[in-house]
Amino acid sequence: MTDQRESHLPDPVRADFLKLFLEHQDDLRAFIGAVVRDSAQRDDVFQEVAMELWRGFDRYDPQRSFGAWARGVAKHRVMKHYRSQGRVPMPLSPAAVEATLNAFDAIDDFRGAATDWKDALEACLQQMPAQSRKLLSMRYDNESDIGSIASVLRKTVDAIYQSLSRIRKQLEICVRERLRTQP
């Protein structure tokens, strides 16, 4: 028998939930695994968290990271699990579970920043002149040494170093500007 609310969720909402859940399930499993050592209990907690996320998806704020929200739900479920086990002392203190949660959130924030940086770099590269992109490709994609590049382009080694230095500086300025103006 299905939960009445489940059967009335519109298809787009179901699709949104599934997309977000599948995208974050490995990190969610990792968080739960970091604080629940027994594999059977870990699987049980993961299933309980998945159901709680599904049932509470209407309370999820899309302005917030889904991963952070899911881990917050998982943290409360883990603490409830420990209390229901009646284990004294608990395998991990609430402070240790909170510290683990904070570490996962910090990693999540770093990934987001890295993605923003990568997107900005790709956009800046597309704006560069073709000759500059070619020089970067020769140096970094093909891993050619400066002497080989100078020989192919019929320029001095010093000229290649200077060109690469200017290009890298332009990219740095462009990326910083893009990241600064992002919402």
**Hey, what amino acid is at 122?**
E
- 132 vs 4, which has greater pLDDT? 132
Nearest-angstrom CA–CA distance, 81 and 42: 10
Q: Which residue has the tokens 């990792």?
A: 30
Question: Which tens digits make up the pLDDT trace of 105-122?
Answer: 777 765 666 567 778 888
Of the chain, the percentage scoring pLDDT greater than 70 comes to: 82
pTM value is 0.53
| Domains detected in the chain | 9-110 (1.10.1740), 128-183 (1.10.10)
Interior CA angle at 47 toward 41 and 49, to 5°? 100
* pLDDT for residue 119: 80
* pLDDT for residue 4: 45
What Rg, from alpha-carbon coordinates, does the chain have? 25
- 8 vs 125, which has greater pLDDT? 125
* pLDDT for residue 51: 93
**Contacts for 91 with CB less than 8 Å, ≥ 6 apart:** 37, 82
Count each helix (H run) and each strand (E run) in the chain, helices first: 8, 0
Question: Which tens digits make up the pLDDT trace of 24-64?
Answer: 898 889 888 888 878 888 899 999 999 999 999 988 888 88
Q: What is the mean pLDDT of residues 128-155?
A: 89
- 77 vs 90, which has greater pLDDT? 77
Pair 101, 31: CB distance under 8 Å:
yes
**Hey, what amino acid is at 31?**
F
**Hey, what amino acid is at 83?**
R
3-state helix, strand, coil in the chain (%, to 5): 80, 0, 20
* pLDDT for residue 9: 55
> Distance between terminal CA atoms of the chain?
44
